[in-house]
A and B are shown apart, each in its own frame.
Chain A
Amino acid sequence: MIGVIFGVIVPYIAVAIFVAGVVYRFVNWANSAVPLKIPTTGGQQKSFPFIKRTIYDRFDSPYTWWETVGRMILEIFMFRSLLKNTRYYLDRASQKDARWLWLFAILFHYSLLLVLIRHSRFFLQPVPEFVEMLSEIEAFKGVFIPSVYISGLAIVAGLFLLWLRRIFLSRERTLSLPSDHFALILLLAITISGNIMRYFFKADLAAVKELLMNLMVFNVGKAAAIADSIEPIFYIHFALASFLLAYFPFSKLMHAGGVLFTPTRNMPNDNRAKRHINPWDSDPSVPILTKGITVSGMTFTSKKLDWDTYYSMYTDQLDEIAESDYKIVPEEL
């Protein structure tokens, strides 16, 4: 029974929620307009040719499409902004580089990537060679039996480090919400249960793969039969992972996709070369406030600010300027 619920029904629901949820979030974000081109410029802009612009400036203050792509890639794969992190020492009134968070984050995320790649062996038949190679390299094939996968341990370490930060650093503790702890605990539970299954209470991996291969082709009857034969320990790991999948699109974990949408990073700093059009104010010949804004049924309209209005207000003074032929000279004393 456990097998059927957690081995067949739950994963189907989780995957459906995950896929629909992520697509919904993407569409939802894309439905909002980007009124302004507002990149945060972290380096020297593109300027006169004689102004030196280094390779870092190209990525921190991108001008072309490719430079912007480069910035995003560095951001996503190197966590470049976190690498720049500093810490302010109140007692010394100065700041220094602080890269621990970067280190922990890199440790966790890359371990996660490796772990996911390794898990792809349960879904792909035949198992791709690079997956096998990667697993063998990180496990130092042959040293331990069964193989000890470094990424599997590193991910637990990384998660603990990230969590301990939230628990012991007063500032992080203050700004951590229950959901922040929850996400970390959930991931810890998944990774720890996975490790336990790997090293202590073993499950029959071939059966697990058979289950997944059958689930994929909606061979429900057979899958249910296989599911019942797998050790219960597997279902702790599997159910938690399913839950994470379903939880993902509706939590802060969605930062994985959101980072691609962030307007302060994914736009080039070429405002002066290419005009950005605001989709909800595409013909701004008259300012919105002059046209009027409506709040609670009332319309508020500002007076026109064109030259004629202005001239009519200060005619005398402007005429005086015109008389002096628009030229200002020092007064003769």
Chain B
Amino acid sequence: MEEMPEKIEIRQRFPEWREMLKPVKELEEGRTSYLSTPKQVDSEFFKMPFGDVERDLHDLKLPENWKELFLEAMKDTLEKNRAFKLFMDICVRCGACADKCHYYIGTGDPKNMPVGRAELIRSVYRRYFTPSGKIFGEWAGARELTEDVVKELYYYAYQCSLCRRCSLFCPYGIDTAEIVWWLRRILSRIGLNQRFMTISIEASARTGNHLGLLPGGMVGAIQQGLEELKDVTGFDLHTYINKKGADVLFVAPSADYFATPHWFVMLGYLLLFNELEEKYGLTITWSTYASEGGNFGTFHSYEAAQLLNSKIYKEAERLGVSFIIGGECGHMWRDKHQFINTMNNPPKNEEWKKFWENPDLGELAEGLRGIRFDSYASGEHGWIHILEFTAALIEHNKITIDKSRNDHWTATYHDPCNVARGMGMVEEPRYVLRNVMNKFYDMPEHTIKDKTYCCGAGGGMLADEIMDLRMRGVMPRMMAVRHVYKKYGVNILLTPCAIDKAQFPHALEYWKIPIEVGGPMEMVGNALVLTAFGEKPEDRQYDLRGEPLGGEEDVQ
């Protein structure tokens, strides 16, 4: 891992407009993502143009006709995506978005303002696609496309976590995430890709998940989870994988199989699934083929996103499930909510069709009758978030909860950006948390729900080489956490997002806030009483982290 930055000094610069049009001279260490090398990009599973060239940022080794390629790709983008074209045209540079970007707040770099970031490509657009830019040049805010400019575009396109916070505040809804996403696609056409992202995409295309976990490894991971659960609960639990004829396909981000604190969430899933199967007979299966909920393709390009998420509906169809439950992940839900059913054809198997004619869980397991999905979902999509699902179970009293088991936790909840702004799921997690624990407090209002701050590592920014940028970007979020930490004594930060869970432990350590990170499903797992196995509320002695239950003093 890259060294954590020693000290962060936020130096705000306000150059004049002419300066803003000139490409930056120095790409700062700790903010520059590594370029892909042939090894990752030229994989047969993720074939990208010009991936066979050894390049680095000092020597881009662009193809000879790179300028034409770039402009051609840009023209293609303008035709293929109205958002991109419109956002090139209608920005009035009012500045409302400026201090909404966590990277701008953290770095003070004017080109990190969402508008500044968009202007980088907008200036090229003006030069080559508008008459005024062609005639007035610099005075119309236009600039020539040079290698330095391309370098700069790469540099800043990979300093955006696609969190869409700027879009929320823009009076025209200009979504810098959309601009950056398509810009990254254009850059990939001349061979510039970020290393961290392409590695993951390639791995996911090949094995089904970003970690490159093979089927056996995945089984082993889940098996270990079941063993840990036996220690905690004393019951022999089980789960299914690749099982044809199961009712539900469950898809989680692959980090849940290994990483901490994701792991405890995994235990939470398993407890819930066992309880449901034992009590109601609802069978839920995992899949090794569709083993990744996350989709790093959504950080790269439309095509890459489609490549990765094409597997899941196919697997659902092959296994003959009725619907799909998705796990705790942030950008996965931007993808699974807004992209997947446009990019793919939904499953056509009989079970699926039949279920969605009357989407009542009672059709699958009689005891669950009454939980219906048709108020917001249809067979054209078929995905339910695990927290929505849990909220419905709690609302209909289908599971038994012992809140007091979470009394040693005082929690706050971080809304993942994509879940809040790309899906609109803000109340369900809170509903679940209020029902599974006694001490839950929200952060200040401008930092939660739709206005939530990014963790600073989304959108491909989880790469280790940009640790400085990550620690800066997470600063506003950490300040909000510190506020509730001081005010309510919060000792765990819950978030249903795999990237958050990977970023926050570092960030909390860096910003010196001594609290834990977890996911809401961990809290559900703690509080869930396995009544079907004959468990009594007082039976559980340890929580999923193996710490003894009973009183706050143990934790303090």
Contacts and interface: CB of A to CB of B under 8 A. Distances in A.
B238 interface: yes
Interface stretch (A113-121, A212-220, A221-229, A319-327): A319-327
Contacts of B116: 174-175
A40 B241 contact: no
Interface in B413-429: 420-428
Given A90-B105, A273-B377, A330-B237, A38 B45 contact: no
A74 B457 CA distance: 33
B110 A174 contact: yes
A165 to B, nearest CB: 8
Interface string A128-145: 000000000000000000
A330 B227 contact: yes
A180 B94 CA distance: 9
Contacts of B44: 302-303
B446 interface: yes
Interface residues of B, number: 139
A88 B314 CA distance: 46
A6 to B, nearest CB: 23
Given A171-B95, A284-B344, A44 B289 contact: no
Interface in A240-284: 250-252, 254-255, 258-259, 261-265, 269-278, 280-281, 283-284
B214 interface: yes
Interface stretch (A49-57, A203-211, A230-238): A49-57
Most chain B beta-carbon neighbours within 10 Å: one of A41, A46, A295, A300 = A41
A25 B311 CA distance: 39
B95 A271 contact: no
Contact of B378 (A36, A176, A274, A276): A274
Binding site secondary structure of chain A: loop
Contacts of B345: 283-285
Contact of A175 (B115, B167, B223): B115
A44 B20 CA distance: 38
Contact of B240 (A177, A274, A320, A328): A328
Contact of A40 (B168, B288, B427, B476): B168
Contacts of B447: 95
B112 to A, nearest CB: 12
B493 interface: no
Contacts of A303: 44-45, 47, 205
A41 B65 contact: no
Interface residues on A, range: 35 or more
Interface in A38-94: 38, 40-53, 57, 60-61, 63, 75, 79, 81-82, 84-88, 90, 93-94
Given A40-B421, A262-B174, A307-B318, A178 B139 contact: yes
Contacts of A298: 49
B376 A81 contact: no
Interface in B115-144: 115-116, 119, 130-132, 139-141
B381 interface: yes
Nearest to A251: B132
B423 A273 contact: no
Contacts of A169: 95
A305 B46 CA distance: 10
Interface string B207-246: 0100000111001001100110110000011111111100
Given A40-B167, A63-B376, A318-B288, A86 B100 contact: yes
Given A175-B110, A178-B17, A306 B383 contact: no
A79 B172 CA distance: 9
Contacts of B226: 328-330
B113 A305 contact: no
Contacts of B431: 51
B15 A330 contact: no
B315 interface: yes
Contacts of B141: 177-179
A67 to B, nearest CB: 12
Nearest to A329: B238
A312 interface: no
B172 A326 contact: no
Given A31-B79, A175-B115, A272-B383, A47 B451 contact: no
Contacts of A174: 14-17, 20, 110, 116
A173 interface: yes
B388 interface: yes
Contacts of B140: 177-179
A123 interface: no
B556 interface: no
A328 B377 contact: no
A48 B342 contact: no
Contact of B168 (A38, A45, A81, A105): A81
B376 A327 contact: no
Contact of A41 (B81, B237, B424): B424
B444 interface: yes
Interface string B455-475: 000000000000000000001
Interface stretch (B26-34, B83-91, B260-268): B83-91
B450 A42 contact: yes
A37 interface: yes
B338 A38 contact: yes
A173 B376 contact: no
B391 interface: yes
Contacts of A258: 86, 89-90, 172
Contacts of A37: 338, 342
Contacts of A200: none
B96 A101 contact: yes
A333 B236 CA distance: 12
Given A35-B302, A287-B306, A321-B241, A48 B82 contact: no
Given A258-B89, A329-B236, 4 more contacts: A82-B171, A174-B110, A259-B172, A296-B69
11 contacts: A40-B168, A40-B421, A41-B423, A48-B388, A48-B392, A252-B91, A259-B173, A280-B80, A289-B306, A296-B69, A326-B241
Interface of A: 25, 28-38, 40-53, 57, 60-61, 63, 75, 79, 81-82, 84-88, 90, 93-97, 101, 105, 165, 169-180, 250-252, 254-255, 258-259, 261-265, 269-278, 280-281, 283-285, 287-290, 293, 295-296, 298, 300-303, 305-307, 310, 313-314, 317-318, 320-322, 326-331, 333
